Amino acid sequence: MNRESGEAPFTVSGTDIHEVKQKNAEAGLSYNEVKALLAKQGGHGTAIYSDTNIDEVKQEIHKHQ
């Protein structure tokens, strides 16, 4: 165990913790970054509802029921 940081460099199974952290940092978007991107851009077919008044959307939905 590294006494200065209080963190062991390897897991019990022998995985190098620092290497895994480095590879994760280089891998691309994190789970939360993907969620934020999807929320910002919207899903398939939802572009028409972007920046739309919620009440107007509800009225449009209920008009067809």
Query: Residue 28 falls within a domain, yes or no?
Result: yes
pTM beyond 0.75: no
| End-to-end CA, the chain | 65
Look up the domain containing 30 and give its range.
17-63
Query: Residue 8 falls within a domain, yes or no?
Result: no
Query: Residue 25 falls within a domain, yes or no?
Result: yes
For residue 1, pLDDT beyond 60: no
Q: Per-residue pLDDT tens for 16-46?
A: 999 998 888 888 877 888 777 777 776 666 6
d(CA 30, CA 36): 10
Query: Residue 6 falls within a domain, yes or no?
Result: no
- Number of domains comprising the chain: 1
Predicted confidence band of residue 51 (pLDDT cuts 50, 70, 90): low
Tokens of 50: 């972007």
Query: Residue 35 falls within a domain, yes or no?
Result: yes
Query: Residue 12 falls within a domain, yes or no?
Result: no
The per-residue pLDDT for 55 is: 81
